[in-house]
Each structure stands twice: as C-alpha cells, then as structure tokens.
Amino acid sequence: MEEDRLIKKAKKGDKDALLTLIMNEKDAYYRLAYAYMGNSHDAMDALEDMIVVLYDKINQLKKDRSFYSWSKTILVNECKAALRRRSKQILTNDWHAAIEPTSSRNSFLASEQQADLEAMLSELSHPQRETIQLRYFHDLDYETIASITDVSLGTVKSRIFQGLKKLREKHGGVNE
C-alpha cells in the first residue's frame, strides 16, 4: 500500500514522504487543530509545530499503521501546549469565522444552530466536551481519543456516555 511505503520512507528521513502523508489528511488535521485553538491562525501554528515534532520523532513511531492516530495525538499535545503558553481559552465565538456562508439566510441558520450547540456543550465538563467533540465532530474512534487525551478506553466511553446523558436530561431526547 502507498501509505506504508510513504511511512517507511519518512522514517528514513524523506521529508517529501512525510509531507505527503500529512497532506493526505490535511483537512482532518486542520479541523482538529481549529477545534482546540479556536481560530485559523493559531490552528495553522499548531500544525506547523506538529510537522516539526513529527519530523524529529518519526523514528519513535512503533506501529506504522498507527501513524495518523499518533500524529493526531502529537497535534493535540501541541495545541494544548500552545494554549498553556499563551494562557488562552478556546473562544467558541471564533468557530464561526472558518465557515464561509453560501447565503445570508443559510449563514444565519448555521450560526444559530452552532450557537445552540456551543451553549449546550458549554454545560458539560471540559473532559466530557472534549471527548464528545473528538468523537462526533472529528469522527475519531474511541482508541484514538483515549490516546489523544491520555486516558483509558473506559474513561473515554464513560465521559461520552455521561456527557450525552446530561445533555439528554437537560434538553430532552430519546433515552436508550
């Protein structure tokens, strides 16, 4: 497979192979960084930091098949480090800046829905909100979320379950 070949080349120091791997998932990386950083500029800075770390530490990758989850973990760690360094908080209002409306009516509806969703998520604890966003906004599997957040698989499942339960109880919804 092409991906396996690129990973092997990247491990041997091939910068172009590493950049190809990153570019293959650039949209997913950007969305993930943007969710943490809250704005495009800081998200791009975090991506640049991730690339430097990946280049320096590619030899530490133990399982080639886990390149993307490993690199996303590094990206999240870079985002968190940048937020700590800058004493920033994620400003949910900045999330709208990345969406280019196709029409003013669609933009208004999307903004209202986004605001409603943000208000609901703000009622959750940070760990619950983070795991729910990683699972449902970024479509990451439980194992990847556990790796990114540095908690057990059971803790990830519990945070998602408890967070969704809290939202259901407060805002209504179908109980399973």
Residues 82 and 110 in one domain: no
Residues 144 and 68 in one domain: no
| Residue 88 pLDDT | 35
- Closest Cα partner for 11 from 62, 47, 78, 48? 62
Residues 51 and 134 in one domain: no
Alpha carbons within 13 angstroms on the beta-carbon side of residue 98 total 21
pLDDT reading at 1 higher than 90: no
| Residue 119 pLDDT | 81
| Residue 157 pLDDT | 93
Alpha carbons within 13 angstroms on the beta-carbon side of residue 106 total 5
Q: Is the residue at 12 inside a domain?
A: yes
**Residue 47's CATH number:** 1.10.1740.10
Taking the whole predicted model, whether its pTM rises above 0.85 is answered as no
Residues 16 and 82 in one domain: yes
Q: Is the residue at 124 inside a domain?
A: yes
End-to-end, the C-alpha distance of the chain in Å comes to 41
Residues 16 and 80 in one domain: yes
Residue-by-residue DSSP string for 3-71: HHHHHHHHHTT-HHHHHHHHHHTHHHHHHHHHHHHSSHHHHHHHHHHHHHHHHHHGGG---GGGHHHHH
pLDDT (tens digit, 9 = 90+) per residue, 5-63? 999 999 888 899 999 999 999 999 999 999 888 889 999 999 999 999 999 999 888 88
**Residue 154's CATH number:** 1.10.10.10
Residues 79 and 147 in one domain: no
Question: Residue with structure tokens 């408890």?
Answer: 162
pLDDT (tens digit, 9 = 90+) per residue, 75-127? 999 998 888 876 534 444 444 444 444 444 555 555 666 777 778 888 899 99
Give the domain-ending residue among 36, 61, 89: 89
Residues 42 and 116 in one domain: no
Instruction: Report the alpha-carbon distance of residue 154 to residue 167 in Å, rounded.
Output: 20
Contacts of 48 (CB under 8 A, 6+ apart): none
Residues 10 and 82 in one domain: yes
Sign of CA dihedral 59, 64, 66, 69: positive
| Residue 93 pLDDT | 42
Domain tally, the chain: 2
| Residue 31 pLDDT | 92
Give the domain-ending residue among 89, 122, 137: 89
Give the domain-ending residue among 64, 89, 114: 89
pLDDT reading at 176 higher than 50: no
Residues 4 and 34 in one domain: yes
* Cβ atoms within 10 Å of 73's Cβ, excluding its own: 19
Contact between 40 and 91 under an 8 Å Cβ cutoff? The reply is no
Containing structural domain, residue 51: 1-89
